Chain A
Amino acid sequence: MMEHIRTPKVENVRLIDRTAPRKAMVGTLYLSATHTIFVENNPETRRETWVLHSMVASVERPPTTPSGSHLVVHTKNFQVVQLLIPQERDAMDVQASLARLSRPEKYSELYCLSINPNANKEEREESWSFLDLQADYRRMGVPNNLWVSTPANSEYRVCDTYPSELFVPKSATPPVIVGSSKFRSRGRLPVLTYFHQDTLAAICRCSQPLSGFSARSQEDEQMLEAIMKSNPGSDYIYVVDTRPKLNAMANRAAGKGYENEDHYANIKLQFIGIENIHVMRNSQQKISDVGELKTPSMGDFLWGLESSGWLKHIKAVLDAGVFIAKAVAEEGISVVVHCSDGWDRTAQACSVASVLLEPYYRTMKGLMLLIERDWVSFGHKFSHRYNHLEGDPKEVSPVIDQFLECVWQLSEQFPCAFEFNERFLVQLHRHVYSCQYGNFLGNSQKERRDMGLRERTHSLWPQLWKDRAQYANPLYRADHTQTQGMLRPNTTPYCFKMWKGMYNRMEKSSPPRQTPTDLLTAVREETQQLEEELTNHQEVAPGGTAQPGTKQEDCNPDKSGSN
């Protein structure tokens, strides 16, 4: 990458605070193979600002002014860095370098693949065994006498965008599996993603059927029948098509479409109306513009919020999750979810439903596993959607952004229900784009295997886990009533807010605001130290002096269920 750096160092650069343009820091700008680094001249503070090249979304250069050339760097996580460079020549060089550095053409140019894989070999190998997806299926009680593992997709024979290990109804025979796969777009046949042990209902996912106007497949019909029969208490299933009905109908002309209720016995078809990736891409552009408005009036802001459509889309995704979760937990009915290819809206709907249904997915490790399952293993096209390599801009879309935002909106409604805080979600979002770790490279399990990512890169998950103290929600308590069971969010429009922590972050100069999360975290840390000190005192001073500490357990917030 070094060859793309036209100028590695520029002096007397100003880093401009957009909220207070007069308060600029003067310093030196460095371009490295991986980062743009600004170091303040002030010898007392020497503040550093680092921007990873892979996080750069765009670099604009407004017309040169007498004081120099401005460069406005927008990052993929909605931060803006504004620089003033004295010489136009330097500014043009930096812009050109960054334009190239931020758009790698090959995977090998990415940060995580540029490091020596053997440097920390053991640590690297360990990092990939941090999460065990199969253990999560076992935690759900799968396999069991209803759902079994099938070898059908070993070596990705029936579907190259699916994981090699799939769970299907026990009664689904190999011909049914293969036949159903042939009748589904890109071979993405209906398979299990979540099993609800209390009701024995399941969430299955797939892509749209190749039904056109009249085609049918006996095997596919048998597959859905088998799914229904895998839930002993029910006599029908829901098929949730997460697309707007009109879109689904339009697909029939291309030989695709949706299930004909006359051909499939005992299904209830439900359209949800989540828009496609192109609509979402434009919508996010608009909401990020709203977040960046400099001094908008309240009318500008609310109008911008409305016309971006963003919150409407977030609501649609959450509504899809709520529908599925209710079907599974309250009605005890299994659900088959699909959209077109079954890797965007389907991933959103299934993972939101899992978060609603299962307290475990509201913990840090649980959310990691959920992303690993519904997104990574089931072939969500990370590298295409998040523009890891210079590619087709029409493939880019903030699909997982919307999932993470749904989780954030939920955490606002259920402040005690999530083990993690907002920072965790923001950090996850960042790493989906950053390519610092190998987890999200490529577009399917097969691609990642072929690239040998486990051998060449590190996994993000243990790193996040190591830093878990800073991602903890101080209000979370595993035994709190809010933590238990299914979440039933209110999805009335007024319950949705703009995610300020994502789209309107505080600029550098503004004083740090008081946040209850930080304060409570500090209090809890102090509490822990006090507890330790109490224990020590009791050991040091036996007999009478230990008395004041003996009631300790009565008021320990982690042990009592007093609320």
Chain B
Amino acid sequence: MEFAELIKTPRVDGVVLRRPFLPTVEGTLCLTGHHLILSSRQDNTEELWLLHANIDAIEKRFVGSLGTIIVKCKDLRVIQLDIPGMEECLNIASSIEVLSTLDSVSLMYPLFYRPMFQVIEDGWKSFLPEDAFKDLESMTEEWRLSDVNKDYSVCSSYPPLVAVPKDVDDDTLRKAAAFRHGGRFPVLSYYHKKNGMVMMRSGQPLTGTNGRRCKEDEKLINATLRAGKRGYIIDTRTVSVAQQAKARGGGFESEANYPQWRRIHKAIERSSILQESLIKLVEACNDQSHSMDRWLSKLEASNWQTHVKEILTSACLAAQCIDREGASVLVHGTEGTDSTLQVTSLAQIILDPACRTIQGFQALVEREWLQAGHPFQQRCSQSAYSNSKPRCEAPVFLLFLDCVWQILRQFPCSFQFSQHFLVLLFEHTYASQFGTFMGNSASERSKLNLSQKTVSLWSWVNRPQEVERLSNPLYEANCLVIWPSVAPQSLLLWEGVFLRWKRSSRCLDEAYDEMVHIIQYNKELQNKVNNLRRQLAQLETEEPLLQTP
């Protein structure tokens, strides 16, 4: 077994573990291929069971022969291990370093994980594009499911099946794909049942500096417009960024070639800047100075909240075009795998009540992120503490979750799930025993045969007990479009993630329990009263019979 070579010291006794909000524990530290385990060996319960993949960075300190390892996790938790013996400490540290940065996909934990729970419904089969398309077919006949990408040859980051306008043939799609970044030709993202308007997404058009055009691309997107109607193209980049892209072969749709479309530019930052922002935000949250000025200025300098606001604003714009203006929308940035997906998925949260249910939100993540080719593995291989130079890492999905949390906070009764679900997704994108977020595209997941070799996160989430844990007690199905406020005064720091390990949530948890209690008690009483009413009604119908001789 390869792991054994990497583990220099598999076991150390007398290790002291310090964690936020929990009492200090002394016990035995064990390293396995995938886990760091600390057990006090009392009644055989493991006090700590940490995936190496969750470790973002470690620091070593020595006082005499007592070594200390500070373990900084991708879920932003920081724990401390005091290890007696310098050699043991060094061995453990170097083993953790190696084990937490293994590049080989074949060694990843989901491939080794065997579920301890009974899989009732296989999550890998829960959200198939064919099934999603059946819903669409029931609403409109203007779209078809194309398998032009069945062997991933037209677009390596698209799934084998995509929804496209019925009147556009596969050949046109192939030509349009050649004109779009990464072969990401415009495909259907969302159909607004209320007025038949649609949202599409794609990569940037490859116009280059000399203004190349592609008739098939124009035909493809024009096919989505009703006669005499104009559509909107939302370019998630600023005009100047989009202009600069021309020099590298990219660009944007010109008015001349797309006269039926109005282009609007937004300013969502590219991923490397988002990563920097996350690092600064987490650093601000860890500041010990107790100075209000310092905190607020660091919070501002991190720009995190600015990103949240910008992304939400862009999503509101897309939703507005569709619902209020009655126009169809095409969304893209550069690659069409990051800011594009933030906008299209959030717009659906705003527009479509189904996306605000537990199942519907999973379907949204599956459709708009996993199938749509967001490169999870690249984006989430490091988090806020990592010292190594970021390559493709970026908290794109975390920002999406943050935006969902903002809407959830503003509409606390409109979501079937609570923020626990969002936090759970955040954790599992960075480190997981499930295969759902492995790989960077449907094609990669299929090559790794993950649906056979790993368990899906959805298999875990959709068990009744987990669904209950993730449910929002205040939920009352709301079939309306919900318009969040994007005013800075309305947007808060997501405490559930960024302050989770900094301040105790005990009092807030108690309030949550109290809320659940109030609602449950009300439901119990309702049942009782309804029973009684029924019995009374029964008695009343029986009594006259008794009285008549």
Contacts and interface: CB of A to CB of B under 8 A. Distances in A.
A64 interface: no
Interface stretch (B239-247, B320-328, B333-341, B500-508): B500-508
B412 A514 contact: yes
A300 interface: yes
21 contacts: A298-B300, A298-B491, A299-B303, A301-B488, A415-B507, A415-B508, A416-B507, A477-B514, A490-B503, A490-B504, A492-B290, A492-B503, A494-B503, A520-B515, A520-B518, A520-B519, A523-B522, A527-B522, A534-B525, A534-B529, A563-B517
A235 interface: no
B414 A514 contact: yes
B507 A513 contact: no
A537 B503 contact: no
B112 interface: no
Contact of B300 (A306, A474, A515): A306
Contacts of A482: 507, 510-511
B530 to A, nearest CB: 10
Nearest to B411: A514
Contacts of B491: 298
A492 B502 contact: yes
Nearest to A523: B522
A65 interface: no
Contacts of B487: 295-296, 504
A413 B507 contact: yes
A527 B518 contact: yes
Given A299-B306, A557-B517, A557-B518, A306 B297 contact: yes
Nearest to B492: A497
Interface in B511-549: 511, 513-515, 517-519, 521-522, 524-526, 528-529, 531-533, 535-536, 539
B291 A493 contact: yes
B412 A516 contact: yes
B306 A297 contact: yes
A516 B515 contact: yes
B285 interface: yes
Given A306-B296, A516-B515, 10 more contacts: A293-B489, A301-B488, A302-B305, A305-B296, A309-B293, A416-B507, A492-B502, A500-B490, A516-B474, A537-B529
B520 to A, nearest CB: 8
Nearest to B538: A545
Interface in A77-114: none
Contact of A414 (B490, B507, B521, B532): B507
A76 interface: no
Interface string A390-420: 0000000000000000000000011111000
Contacts of A490: 503-504
Interface residues of A, number: 67
Interface string B473-512: 0100000000001011111110000010011100110110
Nearest to A520: B518
A130 interface: no
Contact of A563 (B294, B413, B513): B513
Nearest to A500: B489
Given A296-B488, A534-B528, A493 B295 contact: yes
Report the 8 A-B pairs with minimum CB-CB distance, sorted nearest first. Answer: A301-B488, A493-B295, A415-B511, A306-B296, A302-B300, A312-B292, A530-B525, A298-B306
Contacts of B351: none
A119 interface: no
Contact of B488 (A298, A414, A481): A298
B532 A548 contact: yes
Interface in A476-503: 477, 480-482, 490-498, 500
Nearest to B304: A298
A415, A494, A552 — which one has the most chain B CB atoms within 10 A of its CB?
A494
A549 interface: yes
Contacts of B499: 494
Nearest to B293: A306
A312 B308 CA distance: 25
Given A297-B306, A527-B521, A541 B535 contact: yes
A404 B306 CA distance: 30
B289 to A, nearest CB: 8
Contacts of A416: 507, 510-511, 514
Interface in B371-413: 410-413
Contacts of A497: 492
A496 B521 contact: no
B528 A549 contact: yes
A548 B414 contact: no
In terms of DSSP, what is the predominant structure of the interface of chain B? Answer: helix
Interface in B281-321: 285, 290-297, 299-300, 303, 305-306, 308-309
Contacts of B515: 475, 516, 520
A553 B502 CA distance: 39
Nearest to A312: B292
A545 B511 contact: no
Contacts of A526: 522
Contacts of B412: 514-516, 519
Interface in A276-315: 290-291, 293, 295-303, 305-306, 309, 311-312, 315
A291 B488 CA distance: 10
B507 A541 contact: no
A293, A296, A301 — which one has the most chain B CB atoms within 10 A of its CB?
A301
Contacts of B533: 537
Interface in A533-563: 533-534, 537, 540-541, 545, 548-549, 552, 555-557, 562-563
B490 A311 contact: no
A498 B410 contact: no
Contacts of B300: 298-299, 302-303, 306
Nearest to A302: B300
Contacts of B290: 491-493
B411 A541 contact: no
A290, A417, A520 — which one has the most chain B CB atoms within 10 A of its CB?
A520
A515 B492 CA distance: 16
Given A416-B511, A516-B412, A493 B292 contact: yes
Contact of B510 (A480, A549, A557): A480
A121 interface: no
Contacts of A312: 291-293
B407 to A, nearest CB: 12
B516 to A, nearest CB: 10
Contacts of B309: 297-298
A299 B514 CA distance: 37
B299, B412, B518 — which one has the most chain A CB atoms within 10 A of its CB?
B518
A261 interface: no
B305 A523 contact: no
Contact of A494 (B285, B508, B522, B528): B285
B432 to A, nearest CB: 28
Contacts of B510: 415-416, 480-482, 563
A545 to B, nearest CB: 5
Contacts of A305: 296
A416 B294 CA distance: 31
Contacts of B503: 490, 492, 494-495
A556 B521 contact: yes
Contacts of A541: 532, 535-536, 539
A504 B518 contact: no
B313 to A, nearest CB: 10
B319 to A, nearest CB: 15
B511 A475 contact: yes
B519 A523 contact: yes
Contact of A537 (B414, B507, B519, B532): B532
A126 interface: no
Contacts of B507: 413-417, 482
Contacts of B297: 306
Nearest to B302: A302
Contacts of B308: 298
B410 A548 contact: no
Contacts of A494: 285, 295, 299, 493, 499, 502-503
